[in-house]
Amino acid sequence: HLVGDYNKEKIYVQSTDVDRTLMSAECNLAALFPPNSSEKLTPSLPWQPVPIHTTSEHLDSVLAAKAPCPRYDLELIKVKNSKEIQDLNKKYKDLFKYLTMNSGRAIENISEVEFLYDVLLIENNNNLTLPNWTASVFPHPMDEVARWSFALPTWNKELGRLKSGLLIGDMVKHFKDKHANKINNRHLWFYSAHDSTVANLLNTLGVFDLHNPPYSATVLLELRVKNNQSIVTLVYRNSTTKGPYLLTIPGCSPGCPLDQFIKLTEDVIPKDWKLECHAHYFFDLTSDLPFNTIAIFDKKNL
């Protein structure tokens, strides 16, 4: 087993407040920590309860990353209005038109294609018959467009800092505390979240290879000791038929020395997330947004 028998001091489990991620955590924990003979609730049930912690989505700034952040919302709109994204929308405008005509849903940008692609993917995976009109667009070229959508929420460093920075900051703090022997018993922090969480984390760390993270995709960040030096490894598993991939953070080696890892992630970890989220967003006079989109005061997380 990963950390031996279950012990509440060894593992901390956090999930987004969504039924499917909570259930995924439950299933994984049932496999990770089957009860020993003294822990079985009943001889015929090889299962024991393990606590899962969660936060309401609208308050979760770490894992779901849906707590209100006006500065993030503004920056994301700026990116969506950038030439780079508008060029992508123009490139796929015929696809948008075709999907709108046949799906009954207005498809006007890459994010809306990704939503529809996900619906078709789920139906296909469950052996449902797809409509005939999907044959010319699913999986390709819809999958190509969906990949861009997964990169959009963390398109630049500021978006990544505000979207995934707190999660990375949590991980860095755990590594620091473990290295300093402040938390001797804790061995595993387990996060159950979404394909978008995986993409956002990898993209913010600079290792996202444009793709659609499959269901059960897993990112493993591990603190190891090699030659008396603490190193961090980053492993990505996105297949049940192939082994995981060892990724290299830009500016470091595959086994990144902890001090270097901390230095490389400093600029994507907010010092004060709430302050950064609300600072200077009401009167951003340098914005290249159309005037009618400057007043986004509803604090909606896009």
**161 phi and psi angles, rounded to 5 deg:** -60, -45
Fill in the DSSP letter of residue 155. S
**CB atoms closer than 10 angstroms to residue 234:** 22
Q: Of 232, 238, 269, 236, give the one whose Cα is nearest residue 251.
A: 232
User: Can you list the domains of the chain with their CATH numbers?
Assistant: 11-34+45-67+166-274 (3.40.50.1240), 70-153 (no CATH)
Per DSSP bridges, beta strands 188-192 and 11-16 are parallel
Fill in the DSSP letter of residue 5. S
Q: What is the pLDDT of residues 257-286, one digit of tens each?
A: 999 999 999 999 999 999 999 976 554 444
Q: Of 141, 137, 23, give the one whose Cα is nearest residue 91.
A: 141
302 pLDDT tier (thresholds 50, 70, 90)? very low
Give SS3 for 134: helix
Sequential DSSP letters for 66-79: -S--HHHHHHHHHH
Question: Would you state the torsion angle of the CA atoms of residues 177, 180, 181, 183, taken in this order, to the nearest 10 degrees?
Answer: -10
pLDDT at 288: 44
Q: 211 pLDDT exceeds 80?
A: yes
Q: What is the pLDDT of residues 16-45, one digit of tens each?
A: 999 999 999 999 999 998 887 776 777 778
pLDDT at 191: 98
Q: 300 pLDDT exceeds 80?
A: no
- 215 DSSP β-pair partners: none
Distance (Å, rounded) from C-alpha 89 to C-alpha 114?
13
pTM: 0.89
Find how far residue 252's CA is from the centre of its chain. Answer: 22
pLDDT at 41: 73
Fill in the DSSP letter of residue 45. B
CB 169 within 8 A of CB 269: yes
